[in-house]
Chains A and B, each alone.
Chain A
Amino acid sequence: MISNDTALMAHLLRRAGFGANRDELESYLEIGYDGAVEALLNPSDPGNMPDDLIRRYHVDQSELRDLPGSSAYWMYRMISTSCPMEEKIALFWHGLFATGYSKLNQARSQLNQVEMFRRSGLGSFEDLLVELSKDPAMIVWLDNNENHGASINENYGRELLELFSMGIGNYSEDDIKGCARAFTGWTLGNAEYMSVRAAKDSIWPYGRIAWHFDYREEDHDDGEKTFLGETGRFNGEDIIAIIVKQEATARFVATRLFQFFAADEITEAGEKTIEAMMATYFSSGYQIRDMLRTLFHSDYFKSEEARFARVKGPVEMVVGAIRMAGNYQDPYLGIEGVANTMFYMGQGLLRPPTVEGWHEGAEWIDSGALVERVNFVAKELSNVSSPGVRSIIERLEAGADQGVLQPSELADGCLDLLGPIQVSEETRSVLVEYASRHGDLDLNGHQPGDQAEQRVGDILRLVAATREYQLA
């Protein structure tokens, strides 16, 4: 009943996006899988909710200095974009190069960083690391403004190697020092003053700050450095050029991409895919887009093994449900509360817990978070006045024989239109039994919000509460 093409396309869109409703799926199916991969990897006009419209409703989303409004602003982007991969890759780098509001008190600088991820996140990893090293939010987050020619601060140098590129065990403490020395003088304009203001929480009442990168030649250690076996008077760009040609870097980047876009656990077939992505990394000149193309075209990615092999992160969970329900397409005054829901589930945008980012996969699941996840999605998808849910009801009616659905047709139809989602036989039998409560469903002459429609909402609620729905 559900075609393989549809199931595969839905799989691609859960990974390269936030899932898709049936209208979106059908439009991607028209251009075929290869066309869809290219469309997703080459974002064009995202058709975002316009800033002037947002500002009319949200004063705090003009300045974007505070956390609640700024995370909601990014959420609006995720909800309204027609180029979901652009937001997904930004979310990926935000988790990997995790920069947190707690130390910056300057959400605008973080949103600028996110914009940089959108702009450069699918391009060359070398360029991305250079941009990251010049990013003011990152500079303050990891103290590179305290990294001086006369006395180095190793924080950024260390994390660049450990958390952002090669991973521990692939370099020595001396390499860290060499790396840190090369990044001396990479700071932000008026750094001393800005760091005092950040520490004193300048949001209020001290006035505005705008951060920009500043290279101070006089504070840069221009001496000879040895880094990963090479010697020279390296500056930051030279260090990055050495980092990106390491096999360890290729493995690190490929693995992280794999775990975010393919599967939490790496099986033997997964390992082969990672190796293919590493080969692409080198042959393409470190292009992230090409690595992802290799992944999305791999037999592994298209196989059953890769389906539903990831636990949805809270952001994917919330944004996916909202997009499916078709809600919040216009500004909504309670949007910060909706954005906060993701935080309650363990993933607040712009506030990763540490520089390590979030612990993903199975670690998203604990009883408090599961209750939040199920309750949010169940409420979102059971509301029959939501445009996306109305469209599901219309499609169920259109597919029904004489407008009447048997319980198994109702359950299967909901599983199909919310995914298609594959569930175990046991889950399906519970859903069918639940759907049988009031016998066959007659959708003839249904009216908005009537009992017949609400029965669909009830099934959607339960589908949203399944174990399987927790997975992407």
Chain B
Amino acid sequence: MTTTKREKSLIVIQLSGGNDYLNTVIPYSEGKYYDYRSTVNIPQNKVIPIDDHYGFNPSMGPVKSLWDEGKVAIINGIGYQNPNRSHFRSMDIWHTAEPDSIGKEGWLGRAIRDIDPQGENVLTGINFGRGLPRALACPGVSVASVGDLDTYGLFPDVQDEELRMFTLEAFSKMYGGAAGRDPVMELLGQTGQDALQGADILRTAPAMYSSSVEYAPDSLAQNVKSISQVFHANVGARVLYTQHGPFDTHAGELISHAKLWDEVAGSVGCLMDDLKEHGTENDASILIFSEFGRRIQDNGSGSDHGSGGVAFMIGGAVNGGTYGEYPSLAEAEQIEGDLRSNNDFRSVYTGILEDWLGLDAAPIVNGQFEKFDLFKS
């Protein structure tokens, strides 16, 4: 790619397992919060206030700093009608942008197809972690899935580097040979070449990168570091995806949720510092989401599956602030003991696709949705 102006990239951090909204952006001025959350609450004096009513979880210090710089958009009460409390189904809904029937294609898979319709760049979309999240899956769209950037590619278990190179060379010859007229053999050959090419490019990324930022050793921080390395290697990666968890805090929530948010906030803080250091702060935006929020009433040790959650959009180009209403805790407003979402997740997708990635959102998210003004123009 020879563009002088860098294309905008989207970084997604998926919080798997159902992040507890009430203990992430805390309605600390409301008595009802402490009534419902008699055990699993964040005491007022621990909350990091962002205004007189709401505040961040004490583990979210780095996010608060970014909030103060106007780089954090909080999207309140995000979800969809008729909430489903199954992790798998709800995550599928978020991934396919299809709440009613069972969707086939991932929203970001479609976005990648629109960005690169001919599939010219095998690295337009990259997942960091093993296996492809449904969000990135779309027939005909090549997406690399990088478990470990340092060993990414074929035959990672071959320790002897000379043997590995020799084997890769043989692989390249076997997949590069004429396939005759067999279309499947041809497809295999092309795909094998793509995989090698992607791996070759990706393997150079860590060497091209230097930074004074030190990421923590946890798995999310390491994946986010890989994201930064690949993003800064200028290989045309437009969608970079990873996930973290488990946020399924049915028991022992206060301890595990704090640790998870330490890791998420720490990783995001490092990434933003890293972008700043490289002068790319306005070229990447980070979406953080989870498949659902959790039950309003705690269960004495944790909280059960609920509905209505919170998403964040973070970046130098993001219009910081809160979007949408925080759902009411009043009993009449609840659905089966859960928060009632009032912002469709597809409106956020629409904003990202149109205003950040410059794509036509409606065919990707299966309809027209009013969007928030999440990005500086």
Interface set of A (CB-CB < 8 Å, partner B):
67, 100-103, 105, 198-201, 204-205, 264, 311, 340, 343-344, 346, 351, 353-356, 359, 361-363, 365-372, 374-375, 378-379, 424, 426-427, 430-431, 433-434, 437, 458, 461-462, 465-467, 470-471
A94 to B183, CA, bound (A): 28
A367 and B184 contact, CB distance less than 8 A: no
Interface set of B (CB-CB < 8 Å, partner A):
84-89, 92, 102-104, 122, 127, 130-132, 134, 137, 139, 141-145, 153-158, 163, 166-167, 170-171, 173-175, 177-180, 183-185, 187-189, 191-192, 194-195, 198-199, 250, 299, 304-305
Would you call the interface of chain A mostly helix, strand, loop, or mixed?
A: helix
B154 and A371 contact, CB distance less than 8 A: yes
**27 contacting pairs across A/B (C-beta < 8 A):** A103-B88, A199-B85, A200-B85, A264-B184, A344-B130, A346-B132, A355-B102, A362-B183, A362-B184, A368-B143, A369-B132, A370-B192, A371-B145, A371-B153, A371-B154, A372-B145, A374-B171, A378-B154, A378-B155, A379-B157, A426-B173, A430-B177, A434-B167, A458-B167, A461-B158, A465-B167, A467-B174
B154 and A458 contact, CB distance less than 8 A: no
- Closest chain A residue to B306, Cβ basis: A200
Chain A residues near B195 (CB-CB < 8 A) = 367, 370-371
A465 to B198, CA, bound (A): 17
A370 to B171, CA, bound (A): 12
Chain A residues near B139 (CB-CB < 8 A) = 359, 363
A462 and B170 contact, CB distance less than 8 A: yes
Chain A residues near B156 (CB-CB < 8 A) = 375
A310, chain B: closest CB distance, angstroms: 9
A105 to B90, CA, bound (A): 12
- Closest chain B residue to A348, Cβ basis: B131
A367 and B180 contact, CB distance less than 8 A: no
A122 to B299, CA, bound (A): 48
A343 to B153, CA, bound (A): 18
Closest 5 CB pairs of A and B: A102-B88, A344-B131, A426-B177, A368-B145, A367-B195
Chain A residues near B173 (CB-CB < 8 A) = 426, 430
Question: A201-B85, A354-B102, A466-B174 provided; 20 other pairs, C-beta below 8 A?
Answer: A100-B102, A101-B88, A102-B88, A103-B86, A198-B86, A340-B131, A354-B103, A365-B187, A370-B188, A370-B192, A371-B153, A371-B154, A378-B157, A424-B180, A426-B173, A430-B177, A431-B170, A434-B166, A467-B185, A467-B189
Q: Known contacts being A363-B139, A375-B154, A375-B156, is A201 close to B174, with CB within 8 Å?
A: no
B269, chain A: closest CB distance, angstroms: 30
A105 and B177 contact, CB distance less than 8 A: no
- Closest chain A residue to B143, Cβ basis: A368
Q: Known contacts being A311-B184, A426-B177, A430-B173, is A353 close to B134, with CB within 8 Å?
A: yes
Chain A residues near B175 (CB-CB < 8 A) = 467
B171 and A465 contact, CB distance less than 8 A: yes
A270 to B88, CA, bound (A): 39
B305 and A201 contact, CB distance less than 8 A: yes
Q: Known contacts being A344-B145, A458-B163, is A424 close to B177, with CB within 8 Å?
A: yes
B134 and A367 contact, CB distance less than 8 A: no
A353 and B104 contact, CB distance less than 8 A: yes
Chain B residues near A363 (CB-CB < 8 A) = 139
Chain A residues near B87 (CB-CB < 8 A) = 201
Chain B residues near A359 (CB-CB < 8 A) = 139
Chain B residues near A354 (CB-CB < 8 A) = 102-104
B155 and A367 contact, CB distance less than 8 A: no
A100 to B187, CA, bound (A): 29
B305, chain A: closest CB distance, angstroms: 5
Q: Known contacts being A371-B153, A434-B166, A465-B154, is A471 close to B184, with CB within 8 Å?
A: yes
A461 and B155 contact, CB distance less than 8 A: yes
